[in-house]
Structure 1
């Protein structure tokens, strides 16, 4: 039932979009947003972000608009559209086993829910599910790093585990792995210097 509901929501949200990929100018692509977009009105920037599929940016803009007191009921519908789009992108990246990007998208969704207590109260179940997905992405990267670590590639394992910090800095198992590996690398460097 949940999958059917998710499919219907995603179909509705994505039907108005040109595509469901993460655009080049989005936060998750690592590319900066073009400077000319900063001079447009908030509503224009939000609409443009939605058309480009940059749902994280649309949600950040909506959050800023709400903080400035420019919020109305129309924006609640826009928020729902952007939030559903963000979740669709996260699920797409999760299905592709792109855990670093999926994790960042889930983290964005969690942050956005937590910034609005009224919305959070209505969507507490969503928050629990998002946290599970965030943990799953971190755990998958932890396992990937462990495989690399066991093959003796400490620097590569460390790089994988540090990706977790970007979206889930509270993940204790990855923090332990990072600290242990850094100590081991330091000890190896000290031994090779002797």
Structure 2
């Protein structure tokens, strides 16, 4: 009987020691293991952000006009888009600068296209007029001067009888300004005359 009485306290002490350690470690021996937390999915990317990212990719490849078009689409989807507000003016200034460089190199079509793109986007709400070093009127003046020079070159060739050399000058204007009626009319007239000349019998 004495052995049994001594054994009971020892067993009780061992049990309490075991459970005490379990509570200290934060888990009971009979507790069910908890499941790990489910992974948190990232928030979905908005259509405006996707379009803005496309614009940034185009900008990194040197496509300022494409970038401005994508930025404009992103702004339309989400007015006040912070990324567009941050990048739009820089892209616009780069486009105008590239037009200036093309003009200096005698690349009239490239210059006209880039200046026309600048003119098209200069009125965007993301543009702060005081932050850009040129105005709409100045860009329009550059385009008008370029078109006038090309018209004059075409007329000079036309009056010399070089109709085939005149037409490309006027077509260059139409490449960046399709609504230019003077250039369009000149191309039609010259093309008709050239066609009539080709119908004439060859002289010996």
Q: What's the TM-score once normalised by structure 1's chain length?
A: 0.66
Cα distance in 1 for partners of 2:125, 2:60 equals 28
Match of 1:107 in 2: 116
Aligned to 1:64: 73
Local SS of the residue matching 2:200: helix
Cα 1:173–1:189, aligned 2, differ >3 Å: closer, same or farther?
A: same
Match of 1:89 in 2: 98
Structure with bigger helix share is 1
Deviation at 1:139, TM superposition (A): 1.8
**8 Å Cα contact 1:87/1:105 also seen in 2:** yes
The runs of 5 or more residues in structure 1 that have no matched partner are 1-39
The Cα of 1:64 is off from its aligned counterpart by: 1.0
Q: Distance in 1 between matches of 2:198 and 2:165?
A: 16
**Contact 2:84 / 2:126 at 8 angstroms: preserved in 1?**
no
The root-mean-square deviation of aligned C-alpha atoms, in Å, is 2.8
Report the equivalent of 2:151: 142
Q: Which has more radius of gyration?
A: 2
Q: Distance in 1 between matches of 2:82 and 2:56?
A: 16
> Cα deviations across residues 111-152 of structure 1 (Å, max 9, x unaligned)?
1234x36859778x7111111111122122223323433443
Name the CA distance, whole Å, in 2 between partners of 1:80 and 1:184: 46
Give the alignment of 1:133-172 within 5 angstroms.
133-172=142-181
Unaligned runs of 5+ residues in structure 2 are 1-48
Q: Return the TM-score normalized by structure 2.
A: 0.63
